[in-house]
Structure 1
Amino acid sequence: MRLWHEALISHLPRQQLLGQHRECCALRGNGWGKPHSTVNYVFYHSPLLLFAYHQVIMKEMIARGYNVNERWLDPYHRGKSCEPYAKTQFAEEPSNPLTREKIYPEHDESYLQECLTNLKEKGIIVNLDPG
């Protein structure tokens, strides 16, 4: 699984959006630190970035009328079978990931094109043009 480029979140079909929520939950829980080629970059950053990304996913889910377990709104929550993060595990970030334009620096134009191609291969065409 992958974390979709942040610019695509509001355009994702239901299946991909809900799948992204499950992926974020898994990565925040026992999946943290387990290597997987498409998400390894997540582990180079503080878990706070994953929380910020997950917040974007959950905000979109709520806007579409889906229910979100409120426990996931807590940045320290890691699921039922994991101990919560200690505040000391949240490394300092250069800027607040909840307020900056792009959460993951890896989500650049090249990654956006990679994600668009991946979606297209699944039969999902996303048009990001504002017009």
Structure 2
Amino acid sequence: MRLWHTDLIEFLPRGQLLSQWRELNSIFAKEDQHILINYIYEYPKDDLYIYTEKVMAEMTKRGYKIRAFDKMNNYFSDLVEVEEVTPYEHHHNKEYLEICFYNLKEKFIRGQKDYEELRYKELCDYVESRF
């Protein structure tokens, strides 16, 4: 279980993006605890809401259909007004960007079937511009 670095959502291959939506729904349903995501509970729900919106926007941009919003709507039902924030700004830092990049790089090198070369090149160009 992982929430990919916020800045990398647009570079995720299809499998990782769709898995991100499943993982978010698991958090919405059970407030999962996992070593790689426990930090999210240190932040206001606004962060997760904005992160979720970014994932949904990327899915919509790629033409993926989101069928169910029940768990998400229930999870965020107590939010009255969402503050525009940079999600998880202390955890989604340069080091975490690098960790996520190398994870995605390995998936590409190992031949993940849905990882298009152009998307990987765009990821590399983005990461290179940040370092």
Would the alpha carbon gap of residues 86 and 19 (structure 1) be closer, same or farther in structure 2, given more than 3 Å must change? Answer: closer
Runs (4+) of structure 1 moved beyond 2 Å? Answer: 69-72, 74-78, 90-93, 123-126
For residue 77 of structure 1, what is the amino acid of its counterpart? N
> Which residue in 1 is equivalent to 2:18?
18
Would the alpha carbon gap of residues 116 and 52 (structure 1) be closer, same or farther in structure 2, given more than 3 Å must change? Answer: same
Partners of 1:67 and 1:17 in 2: CA distance: 12
Partners of 2:97 and 2:26 in 1: CA distance: 23
Alignment of 1:117-128 (within 5 A): 117-123=102-108, 125=120, 126-127=123-124, 128=126
TM-score (norm 2): 0.74
Q: Deviation string for 1:25-57 (max 9, x for gaps)?
A: 111111x1x421100101112223212111100
Structure 1, unpaired ranges of 5+: 79-84
Partners of 2:57 and 2:81 in 1: CA distance: 24
Q: Number of aligned residue pairs: give it.
A: 114
- Tell me, yes or no, if the aligned pair for 2:28 and 2:72 is still in contact at 8 Å: no
Partners of 2:3 and 2:77 in 1: CA distance: 24
Using CA pairs under 8 Å that are at least 6 residues apart, name the structure with larger relative contact order, 1 or 2: 2
Structure 2, unpaired ranges of 5+: 110-119
| 1:104 aligns with one of 88, 99, 111 | 88
Q: Deviation string for 1:77-124 (max 9, x for gaps)?
A: 24xxxxxx552xx5998xx1xx33x21121011100010011122226
- Tell me, yes or no, if the aligned pair for 1:46 and 1:91 is still in contact at 8 Å: no
- Tell me, yes or no, if the aligned pair for 2:50 and 2:87 is still in contact at 8 Å: yes
Would the alpha carbon gap of residues 92 and 15 (structure 1) be closer, same or farther in structure 2, given more than 3 Å must change? Answer: same
Identity of paired residues, percent? 34
TM-score (norm 1): 0.74
Would the alpha carbon gap of residues 13 and 70 (structure 1) be closer, same or farther in structure 2, given more than 3 Å must change? Answer: same
